[in-house]
């Protein structure tokens, strides 16, 4: 039987969300004893638990068919892989940052300066494009302390909230690229594996489509139905069912939580009662 092999981060910021995404797709993963390989009983899927840095290489070599990894690692490793889908979590940017008291005006500041980073490939490409000549100091962790210990004049690193920069007296001066978790695939997947990947992507789509949407049920007097339905954005057209109590109906529809709070008061003003808001797990449009 054909099995799709997916690489996910073993331990780190992406691990929980990657497995969580599979769970939402009704794919539960049982981890083996050595915790390097997991299997699923709900889908022909094998999970390889790896360091995120290794995922692009494993996928390019076809050891894993697909992988969930940060776009930053995909850009840095620059392997022969296909970006299949952006997943919308682990969002961050990779930026240049300089000491807060620097007289920074524009990129030319970096000429002749030392920049510490774990992303030398992305940085070199950017500097070449901008015709800036700097010295890249490649280090694997705690990049943000490099300027204070005299190892570099500035850094190029991942920024999310920005608080790491602030607590190290640095300021972000240039966003070079944005990143989020993505699915990558090996080129030339077999037809059988492509079908399994398509099936997985379809499940992910139904989960993502449901996000933020709520199923709403409410009771309304029949003479107010028209006005209340006008207030409801809905999917196509709401379902209206008669209640046992004469002159009343039950309205069912789907509303995004963004819109829900804006219409709730108006619904009540128009006589809606017994409003229920229910989470939606999956939506197939
Ligand atoms: O052990 P392994 O090699 O697998 O993991 P890792 O330590 O290399 O990576 P990990 O788990 O820290 O991050 C995995 C991925 O999460 C990264 O490759 C990014 O795609 C993504 N991501 C999202 C982040 C962040 N946000 C993030 N904030 N990765 C790291 N950070 C760090 C950053 O390095 C800096 O030290 O958080 C700090 C900045 O955060 P703020 O909020 O203070 O700005
Ligand atoms: Zn890593």
Domain at 212-279: CATH code:
3.30.70.120
159-198, pLDDT tens digit by residue? 999 999 999 999 999 999 999 999 999 999 999 999 999 9
pLDDT recorded at residue 35: 79
Write down the CATH superfamily of domain 4-88+180-209. Periplasmic binding protein-like II (3.40.190.10)
Q: Which atom of ligand 1 is nearest to the CA of 50?
A: 4
The predicted model scores a pTM of 0.92
Return the structure tokens found at 251: 């309205």
CB count within 10 Å of CB 61 equals 12
Q: Which atom of ligand 1 is nearest to the CA of 142?
A: 36
Place of tokens 């197939």: 284
Same fold, 92-179 and 212-279: no
Q: For residue 24, report the distance from its CA to the centre of ligand 2, in Å.
A: 25
Q: Which ligand is nearest to the CA of 70?
A: 1
Q: Are 119 and 53 in contact (CB under 8 A)?
A: no
Q: What is the CA angle 33-17-186, rounded to 5?
A: 80
Q: Which ligand is nearest to the CA of 162?
A: 1
CATH of 92-179, one of 3.40.190.10, 3.40.640.10, 3.40.50.720, 3.30.420.40: 3.40.190.10
pLDDT recorded at residue 236: 74
pLDDT recorded at residue 81: 98
How many angstroms separate the CA atoms of 29 and 18, rounded? 11
Return the structure tokens found at 157: 């690193």
Contacting residues for 33 by C-beta, under 8 A, at least 6 apart = none
Query: 3-state DSSP call for residue 270?
Result: coil
Q: Which ligand is nearest to the CA of 97?
A: 1
Q: Which atom of ligand 1 is nearest to the CA of 159?
A: 44
Q: Are 87 and 180 in contact (CB under 8 A)?
A: yes
Q: Are 84 and 66 in contact (CB under 8 A)?
A: yes
Q: For residue 284, report the distance from its CA to the centre of ligand 1, in Å.
A: 33
The domain ranges of the chain are 4-88+180-209, 92-179, 212-279
Q: Which residues does the chain have with pLDDT short of 70? A: 33, 234-235
How many angstroms separate the CA atoms of 215 and 218, rounded? 10
Q: Whose CA is nearest to atom 39 of ligand 1?
A: 159
Q: For residue 152, report the distance from its CA to the centre of ligand 2, in Å.
A: 21
């Amino acid at each position: 039987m054909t099995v799709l092999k997916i690489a996910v981060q073993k331990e780190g910021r992406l691990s929980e969300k990657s497995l969580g995404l599979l769970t939402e797709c009704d794919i539960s993963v049982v981890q083996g004893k050595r915790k390097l390989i997991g299997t699923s009983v709900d889908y022909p899927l094998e999970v390889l638990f790896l360091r995120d840095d290794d995922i692009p290489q494993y996928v390019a070599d076809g050891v894993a068919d697909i992988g969930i990894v940060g776009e930053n690692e995909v850009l840095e490793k620059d392997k022969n892989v296909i970006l299949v889908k952006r997943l919308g979590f682990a969002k961050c940017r990779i930026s240049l940052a300089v000491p807060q008291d620097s007289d920074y005006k524009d990129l030319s500041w970096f000429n002749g300066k030392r920049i510490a980073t774990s992303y030398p490939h992305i940085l070199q490409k950017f500097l070449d494009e901008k015709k800036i000549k700097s010295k890249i100091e490649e280090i694997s962790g705690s990049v943000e302390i490099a300027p204070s210990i005299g190892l570099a004049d500035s850094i190029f690193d991942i920024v999310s909230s920005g608080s790491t920069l602030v607590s190290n007296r640095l300021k972000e001066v240039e966003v070079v690229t944005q990143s989020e978790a993505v699915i990558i695939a090996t080129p030339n997947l077999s037809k059988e594996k492509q079908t399994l990947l398509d099936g997985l992507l379809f499940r992910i789509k139904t989960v993502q489509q449901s996000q933020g949407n709520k199923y709403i049920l409410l009771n309304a007097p029949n003479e107010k139905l028209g006005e209340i339905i006008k207030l409801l954005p809905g999917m196509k057209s709401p379902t209206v069912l008669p209640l046992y109590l004469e002159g009343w109906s039950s309205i069912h529809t789907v509303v995004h939580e963004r819109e829900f709070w804006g219409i709730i008061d108006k619904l009540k003003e128009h006589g809606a009662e017994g409003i229920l808001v229910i989470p939606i797990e999956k939506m197939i449009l």
